[in-house]
Each structure stands twice: as structure tokens, then as C-alpha cells.
Amino acid sequence: MIVSSLNILELLPEIVLLAFALIILCVDMVLKIENKKRLWDIAFAGLLIILVLIAKSFSGSWIAGGEAFHGQAITDGLTVFIRLIIVSALFITLILAVDWLNDKPNQIGIFAFLTMISSLGALVLSSAGDLLIMLIGLEILSVPLYILAGFQREKAEGREASFKYFILGSFASAFLALGIVLIFMETSTISLSQIKLSSLSGLPAGIPMKIGLALVIATFAFKGGLMPFYAWIPDVYTGSPDYVVGFMAAVAKVSVFAALIRIGVAFAPVAGSTLIGLLAFMFILTVILGNLMALWQDDVKRMLAYSSIAHAGYLLLGLMAFNQLGLSSIVFYLIIYSFAAIGSFALTGIVYQLRGDYNLNSFDGLHEHSPLLAVAMSIFMFTFAGIPPLAGFFSKMFLFNGAIDKGLSRYVVIASIASLIGVYYYLRVILRMYMKPLPEGAEIQKIEIPGFYTKTALFLASVLVIILGLVPGRFYDAAYLFLKTLFI
Amino acid sequence: MLVLITFIPLIGAIITMLARKDDHRGIEFVGMVTSIITLVLSLVLLGGFDGDYGSMKFVIRHEWVSELGIEFHMGIDGISIWMILLTAFLTPICIFYSGGSIKNSFREFVAMLLFLETSMIGVFASIDMILFFVFWEAVLIPMYFLIGVWGSDRRTYSAMKFIIYTMFGSVLMLVAILIIHQAGYGLGLRTFNMLEFPAIIQNAVAPRTAQILFWFFFLAFAIKVPIFPFHTWLPDAHTDAPTAGSVILAGVLLKMGTYGFLRFSLPIFPQESLDFALFISALGVVGIIYGAWVATMQPDMKRLVAYSSVSHLGLIVLGIFTFTIEGMTGGLLQMVNHGLSTGALFLIVGMLYERRHSKLIEQFGGVARVMPFFSACFIIIMLSSIGLPGLNGFVGEILVLLGSAKAAHLGLFKGASYVLTVLAASGVIWSAVYMLWTYQRVMQGPIKYEENKNLQDINAREKWTLIPIIVLCILIGIFPKFFTKPMEAPITKIIDKIHYEKPKLAMADDFPNIQFSYQMEKSGVDTD
């Protein structure tokens, strides 16, 4: 009786994910080292089950949305989409890792476990129905990421990245807790729906709530890598393993923006102006400085790290608009960003293995070396730069459209000019690959890089980017439809 | 049908990419076949109009992103068909020519050219603004590679400059498109249909905003054309592009800008176009004279032709912003003419370059003695570019000048048009100066350098690249009416929307009408 009122089945994908993560952890302990590769079978089987579950939820009845644990978890259209993005990002990351961990079989179990738990945290965060669940979700998301950042223990940069991320991240979580307390002081509730109800009554927000809200936003801005809380991103991303950075960037951004959407829904009526002011400030800083700083990087991995900051900036445009058009474009942007980020960071890793350097000139003449890698990288770069017919164009266009709908044309002009800077530094990579000769004396190594699984993952990511560019309508229309419930 | 024409080259590009890397003949065969099929199909399109050129024909309409009203919506009228034909005509020529001149990664080269053709035709065939924008930007990708990979000298610099420069204009145009789209919500429209945009501007956009939007559009097109102060990317891009790239760049890509004025700026913003027409025409005239003067002083032939493009495109812009049937028809015809003659000039420079590996004028001299056939082709093309009666250039130029004079007569810009007409007419002289002088220095006189004594005359392949262009140049020169007739209906439609005070309307009837201008061309042919 009590159990059934919890609506626990609404969270079936999360439960399956947790179950498989735990199964992997347990099986890992009993397996002999030469059998550890079997763990991948378990992981992929689990992910396929979850994907099937998610696909089933793309039917009409889900648009209405639901809840579990008495409103502590919201399972509406947004949740469904975030699940889809995160689980597919996880899927591609795990495929990438198959080759990467080929000669370190005793790390397979822990890697799969950490990524799955981190995704679980992202799912909890993005479907949180109250502020404390958000805090919990954020922790479940972050702690595995701290470990993953230092996953290559032999690298000093990795250890540094992990430590830095951990210290700063803990700070941020503390701020979130403080913010929640301040909000609680004024509203006497931590439930987002309660806050929305009370804020609809028309009382203006007091000082504690404003400060609290600012702290909450700052925490998420930190996790999402928005200016002025971005400083950890370049170091942590550069130090983390190449095949994980894309996952870190994608999962953190997806869940953070989902959480920000939920916060926006609850607080917009009472503290709309505070929110808009904060977001606009961060938007201008992030979009302009993020792009400018990426421009100066000669290290491709660092450049991508800075550009991930800039992309988070564009996403803010959708939050500022906060209409159905803008929010559905955020969802659309996130899925494309996730695929392209995972793919491009993995490619920097491959190039590092080939040439031993992340520097821009290690991309020289890559297309002579490996045409397919060069094509894949070009697809990701053109996507990031927002040049049609690739999906990145549509994601930006939808965002701009949503913002203009809300009368934010000025910000759109800023964003579009800033994106031009992006065109320059992304195309610089392509230029290196196609228009510079292979460096003198760089003999083409005949190592089997990338392996079969890496190729598959890159292929999946780039094909998805192309397909979403050719038929953006299907996905965007669905997102638009599914996000309707947020505005009721 | 239209979809076929648009995407056959893309299919061809994919097929070529599947070919073996060193199968030169096979790749060329696929490239030629696909591009010629496209050409034939576009000729079929021309025949399929049934005399009604004013409205959109061959319309295809599918939903693309239904929540935003983005559609896969294509259609063509008497303006776009010529641009499509020009594209379809120049692409096989480029592939054919490159078959003899491109040695490294020919497969990718042909694929890029075909991809480029798809996006260019898409630009000219789109009705939906987002679809148009997608093609408009997609053009940049193959062009970027064409310049950057197969170019010469500072190719990477030029490729980057080209793409950043043109994107700067187009992102603002995208913002403008989105703003108009949003304004449409106020009228209950959720559409990117370009045919609905004029109504939105008129009924739902404040005049002040409309002006800003007009400038956003203007900037995108002006950079692409390029109009005078925005032209600096052009000489670099042209100089460093491979020959086929230059041909397509000059022949079609620049026309995307003027086509944009004709198709979007004027119909969507009739009032704003009129308000700023004087300024824009003045820029056009400055371009004519500036381009010609700078061209005269260029030591590098490719740069010279590039600057002559600035000059010619200035004339086209002037023609479009006269708002007279003569001027706009002339401008449109001149778009085709310029595509042919300048494209051919780039081919000619390319042929010289392949023999001597130099584009500098002073490296040549007396080439006519060793390359007689070549010199004959050169002279015809050159005269067509100058605008000799009997060749295509003359018809376009005289129509533009006539239109400009008529506009002055009708009181446009309170008579300032007279000044513009006179200045623009002087451009014809300047173009004669730089063209003839170049010809003289390159082809005539004694042979200065030993290397030039043994130059081979052009081979069969090169001959057959130039001959179709020359034939077409002469055809347009002799039968201009065949080409201008279809343009009239759509252009009249555009002009009808532009209302300006015509104080001397009574006198306008006395003005020699368009029939007269054709007689003039005919007589020009006779005396030639």
C-alpha cells in the first residue's frame, strides 16, 4: 500500500541503472582477471534494457508526466529527454572505453561502475522535485567524476585535476547547501512545487531568498562551467583521461541545465528579475570571454575545454528566454553538444596516442594519416562552429529563435558575433588536418589506433550529429511537445 | 524535379568518394555525367515554365520542423532559373578543365565541386528562409576546402578570411530572419516562407526595426557581392583559389549576393530599399570606379580579374537599385554575363599559369605568336567582359545604364541618378583600359622571355572548356530577348511593390521604352 503510493515504477530506468552498476561491482570482485572483459557484456546489456525502457516512454501518455516518492522525483517530458541524452552519452563513452581499457582489465569494473553511478546522479539531479534531492543528486554525480578525473593514476596532471576538482567541487556543494537553507528560511519548504505555489501567491522575494537563489545558481554555474565560476574547467579537463572528458562535460552540463530549468520553473514567478539579471550577467561574460580565451589556446584539448564554457554560455540564452521554444532548444542543443564533445575529446586522445602531443600542430596532415579520423573531427568541428547542414547550426538557430521570441534580440546578436570567434578556432583544427602537410620525419606509425570499438563509437557520434542535422524536426518537435508540462 | 536537380550532384559526390583514389578517368566520368545530367534537367526546367515566369513553379513543400513552421520548400521563377542554369553550366566546365590540371586528390576535388553545386542550386531554389540559409552557409564548407587544400601561396589565410568574412554577414542575416519569423506570430503566422515575409514586415514590424533588419540582410549580401568597402576578402580568395574554384567563386558565389538583393531585400523591404537606394547605388558606383582603377594597377592577372569583378558587380548593384525594368533586367542579365566572361577569364589565367607557373603580367609578352588559338579565345572573352556590342556584356551594361538614366528621368533620388549614370558609364571606359592594356602586355609585342618561346597552344581539353562559354557569350549578345523575356515578369512583380513618387510620370511615357532598347542592341549587332 505504502510502497505503491511511492510510484516507484516511474523511476524504473534509474533503478535498472543502479542495479546494473551494483551487479558490475559485485561481479567484478569474483571474476578472474582474464574474464574481466565479460563485464562489458553486462554493462551493455544493462544499457540496452534502459534504452528500451526510455524508448517505450516516448509514447503519448508520458507527456502528462508523473512523480515518484511524493513529488521528490519528477518524471515528466524533460526527465524522459534527459534520460535519453545521458544514457546514450554513457553508452558511447563505454564503447570508447572498451579499447582504451583493453590492456588494463582490472579497471574495467570500476570504470563502468563509476560512470554509471555518475549518470545515475545526473538523472537524480535532473528529475529532482525538491532542493535536497538536488543536493544529493549533485553529490552522486560529482563524487564519481572526481575519481574519474584522476583515473590515470600514473599521470601527475590527472592527480592534480582530480584534487582540484574535488576541493572546488566540495566548496560548490557547500554553497548549494547554504543556499537551500537560506531559501528554506523564507519559504519554509524545500519542495519545488510548494515554492512555485507560494511564489504564485504574489509575495515579493525577500533578501534571504535572493541570496539563497544566487548561491544555488552559482553552484550550478560552477558545475556547468559558466563564467565567472569556470576556472577549474581548463585544468581539470586537460588533466582528465581523454575518453572521459567528453562524458564529464556532457553529463555535468545536461544535468545542470535540467536542474536550472526546474529551479527556473519554481522561482520564475517570485524572483524572475533576479534570475534574469544573474543569467544575463553570466551569459555575456561566458559567451564573450569563453570564446576569446579559447581563441588563444594552442593546445586542442584546452581549446575544447574553453569552448565547452562558451557552449554553456549559449545555453544560457535558452534559460533567459524561459519559454517553451527556448527550453526545447536547450534539450536539442544538449544532445548534440554531448555527442560532439565526447567524439572530439576522444579524437584528441587518439591524436595524442599517435603524435604524443595535444598541440595544434600535432593535427598537421592528419587526413593523410587517417582520412576517417579527419572526417570525423571535421564533422565535430563544423558542428561546434554551427555551420549547416550539421546539427550544430540547428541547435544554435533554435536557441536564438527562442530568445528572440522573448525579445532578447540584443543578446542574440552578441551570441552570434561571439560564435564567429568560435568559427575561427574550430576551423583552425580543420585547417591543420587538411591544409598542412605531415610534419617532416613523422613516420606514420602502424599501430592499431583506433581500435574497432573506438571507431564504432566515433561513427555513432558523427552519424547522429549528421542525422540530427538533416532531420532536426523530429527531435525538436518531440522536445517541444514534451516540455509543455513545465508550463502548466 | 527541383529536388532531383539539387541533389543529383550530391549523389555524384558520394559516388566519386567511393571510387578508387587513383582512378582518374572514372572519377572524371562520374563527375561529368552527374553535372551534365543536372544541366540537361535544368534546361528541361526552363522549357517547363509554359510562359509563366512570374510565379513560383515546380514547388515542393514538406514539413521539416513543424513546431517552427520550417519547411522543405523549394520553387523557382524567371529569376532563379537563370542562376540555376549558370551554376549547372559552369560546374561541368570546371570539372572538365580540372581533369587536366588537378593532380593531387582529384577525387576529393570533384566531390567538393559537386557538393558545392548542390548547395548553390539549393540557394537559388529555396523558398523557405531557413532552407535557404542552410544552403547559403553550406556553400562555405566546400569552398573553404577548395581554396585551402588546392589553392596556392597563402591559401590557408585566404580560406579563413573568406569564411570568417562571409559568416559575419550571414549570422546577422540569420538573426534578422528569426526576428521577422517571430514578428509573424503577431499575425498568427508561424512560417519561414519568404513569400509571406513582405506582409509580416509591412504589418507587424515597426519601421525603425525594419530598417535595422534591412541592414542585417544588406550586410550579408553586400559582403558576398562584394560591395565596395566589404570587398577585401575577394582578391585574396580569388588569387589563392585553384582555377576551378575561382571560376565558381566569381561565376556563381558572388551572384548569390546580388540574387539576395533581388530576391529578398527588394521584395521583403520595398520601402527600406527605396530609402537607402541612393546610398547603395553610390557604393555600387564607387565600386565600379574603384575596382577598375585598382585593377588597372595590378601586376598579378588573377588579382586584376578579381578587382574587375568588384567593378562589374558594382554595375549590377546599380542596376538592381534603379527599380526600373531595364535596370533590373540588365542587372540580372549582367549576373549571367559576368559569370560567363569572368569565369572564362579565370580559366584563361589558369591556362597561362599552368604553362609558366606565373600570374604576373610582366612575365609574359608576345604570347599571341606562340599560342594563336588561345589568343583568339582571350580576345573574344575580353571583349565580352568590356561590353563590345554583339557580345553579351554589351546588352547587360547598356540595359543597366538605360535603366539608371530612366530612373533619373523618373525622378529617383531627385536627379542624382544622372550623376550616377554618367559615372557608371565611365566604368566601361575604365574596363577597356585595364583589359586592353593587359592583353597588350601579355599577348602582343616581342617575346621578352626565352621560356615563353616554347609555350604550347592550348590542347583539345582546354579548347573545349572555352568554346561553350564563347558560344554562349555570342548567343546572349545576338539573341538577348530570349534571355531577358523570362526575367521581366518576376521583375515587374518586384517593381510593382516599390512605390516612389514619380513627379515626372507624364514625361515617363515619352521615355524610350524597353522595345527601343532591344532595337538598339540589334542595330549594335548590325554595325559590328
CB contact under 8 A, B174 and A405: no
B72 three-state secondary structure:
strand
The H-assigned helical ranges of B411-459 are 416-443
Are A473 and B175 in contact (CB < 8 Å)? no
Sequence-separated (6 or more) residues with CB below 8 Å from residue A171: none
Please, is A60 exposed, middle or buried when counting C-beta atoms within 10 Å of its C-beta (0-12, 13-18, 19+)?
A: exposed
With cut-offs at 50, 70 and 90, classify the pLDDT of residue A357. Answer: confident
B68 CB within 8 Å of a chain A CB: yes
Contact B149 A435 (CB under 8 A): yes
- B70-76 and B57-65: which strand pairing? antiparallel
Distance CA B170, CA A394 (A): 15
DSSP class of A61: G
Average pLDDT over residues A318-332: 87
- In angstroms, the CA A168 to CA A232 distance is 8
| Number of residues in chain A | 488
In a 3-state reduction of DSSP, which class is residue B62?
strand
Whether chain B has a CB inside 8 Å of the CB on A476: the answer is yes
**R_g of chain B computed on alpha carbons:** 22
Average pLDDT over residues A336-354: 87
Q: How many residues does chain B have?
A: 528
Burial class (CB in 10 A: 0-12, 13-18, 19+), A482: buried
Average pLDDT, chain A: 84
Q: Does A423 touch chain B (CB under 8 A)?
A: yes
CA Rg, chain A, in Å? 22
pLDDT of residue A476: 85
Q: Is residue B137 within 8 angstroms of chain A, CB to CB?
A: yes
Q: Contact A312/A304 with Cβ under 8 angstroms?
A: no
Omega within 30 of 0 (cis) for the link into A204: no
What is the full per-residue pLDDT of chain B (528 aa) written as tens digits?
Answer: 888 888 888 888 888 888 887 788 888 888 889 999 999 998 888 888 877 787 888 888 888 888 888 888 888 888 888 899 999 999 999 888 888 888 788 888 888 999 999 999 999 999 899 999 999 999 988 999 888 888 887 888 888 888 888 888 888 899 999 888 888 888 888 888 888 888 888 888 888 888 889 999 999 999 988 888 888 888 888 888 888 888 998 889 999 999 999 888 888 888 888 888 888 888 989 999 999 999 888 888 888 998 998 999 999 998 888 888 888 899 999 999 999 999 999 998 888 888 888 888 888 888 888 888 888 888 888 888 888 888 888 888 888 888 888 887 776 776 677 888 888 888 888 888 888 888 888 888 888 777 777 777 888 888 888 888 999 888 888 888 888 888 888 888 888 877 655 444 434 444 444 444 444 444 443 333
Nearest chain A residue to B177 by CA: give it.
A401
CA distance A48 to A67: 24
Q: Does B215 touch chain A (CB under 8 A)?
A: no
Say what the alpha-carbon torsion angle A302, A304, A305, A311 is, to the nearest 10 degrees: 150
Q: Is A30 exposed, middle or buried (0-12, 13-18, 19+ CB in 10 A)?
A: exposed
- How crowded is residue A171: how many other Cβ atoms within 10 Å of its Cβ? 12
Question: Cα separation of B36 and B41, whole Å?
Answer: 8
pLDDT at A120: 92
Comparing A101-105, A438-442, B170-174, B211-215, the range with the smallest average pLDDT is: A438-442
Helix and strand counts by DSSP (H, E) for chain B: 24, 2
Chain centroid to Cα A397, Å, comes to: 20
Cα distance between the two ends of chain A: 29
Q: Tell me the C-alpha distance between A181 and A392, whole Å.
A: 39
Instruction: Tell me, yes or no, if B352 comes closer than 8 A to chain A by beta carbon.
Output: no
Interface membership of B212 toward A (CB under 8 Å): no
Residue with cell 576556472: A231
**A-chain residues near B140 (CB < 8 A):** 387
For residues B470 and B277, what is the distance between their CA atoms, to the nearest angstrom?
Answer: 34
pLDDT band at A3 (very low <50, low <70, confident <90, very high): low
Does residue B32 sit at the A interface (CB-CB below 8 Å)? no
Q: With an 8 Å Cβ cutoff, are B148 and A434 in contact? A: yes
Q: CA A432, CA A426: separation in Å to the nearest integer?
A: 10
* A167 near B CB under 8 A: no
- pLDDT at position A443 is 58
Q: Is A200 exposed, middle or buried (0-12, 13-18, 19+ CB in 10 A)?
A: exposed
Per-residue model confidence as pLDDT tens digits over A194-232: 877 776 676 667 788 888 888 988 899 888 888 888 888
Q: Are B321 and B462 in contact (CB under 8 A)?
A: no
Among A94, A103, A118, A121, smallest CA distance to A39 is for A94
Using DSSP's 3-state secondary structure scheme, residue B261 falls into helix
- Whether a cis peptide bond, with omega within 30° of 0, leads into A389 is yes
Q: Per-residue b/e over B422-446, b at no fewer than 16 CB within 10 Å?
A: ebbbebbebbbebbeebbebbbeee
What distance in Å separates the CA atoms of residue A416 and residue A291, rounded to the nearest whole number? 11
Residues of A in contact with B159 (CB under 8 A): 431, 435
pLDDT in tens, A251-268: 999 999 999 988 888 887
One-letter amino acid at A194 equals Q
Inform me whether the C-beta atom of residue A480 falls under 8 Å from chain B C-beta atoms.
yes
How far the first Cα of chain B sits from its last, in Å, is: 41
Dist CA A342 CA A1 (whole Å): 44
The enclosing H or E element of B470 equals: helix B460-478
User: Chain A residue closest to B178 (CA)?
Assistant: A401
Which residues does chain B have within 8 Å of residue A364's beta carbon, measured at their own beta carbons? none
Handedness of CA A188, A194, A199, A202 (dihedral sign): negative
Domain boundaries, chain A: 2-487
Is A397 close to B140, i.e. CB distance below 8 A?
Answer: no
Q: Using a CB-CB distance cutoff of 8 angstroms, which residues of chain B are in contact with residue A419?
A: 171
State how far Cα B411 lies from the chain centre.
29
H-helix segments, A188-323 = 192-200, 207-224, 232-239, 242-295, 300-321
Q: How many Cα atoms occupy the beta-carbon half-sphere of A24 within 13 Å?
A: 30
Q: Which residue has the cell 597563402?
A: B154
Q: What is the pLDDT of residue A62?
A: 58
Locate the chain B residue with the closest alpha carbon to A431. B156
Residue A275 has pLDDT above 50, yes or no: yes
ipTM of this predicted structure: 0.87
Residue of B nearest to A416 (CA): B171
Looking at residue A122, its pLDDT comes to 92
Complete DSSP assignment for B242-255: -HHHHHHIIIIIHH
Average pLDDT of A23-52? Answer: 84
Residue A238 neighbours by CB distance under 10 Å? 21
Number of Cβ within a 10 Å radius of residue A337: 28
Amino acid of residue B42 = S
Q: A155: which residues sit within 8 A by CB, 6+ positions away?
A: A239
Contact A417 B171 (CB under 8 A): yes
Residue at grid coordinates 546599380 = B318
The angle, 0 to 180 degrees and rounded to 10, between the axes of the packed helices B80-101 and B325-356 is: 0
Q: Which of A314-328, A447-461, B136-150 is predicted least confidently? A: A447-461
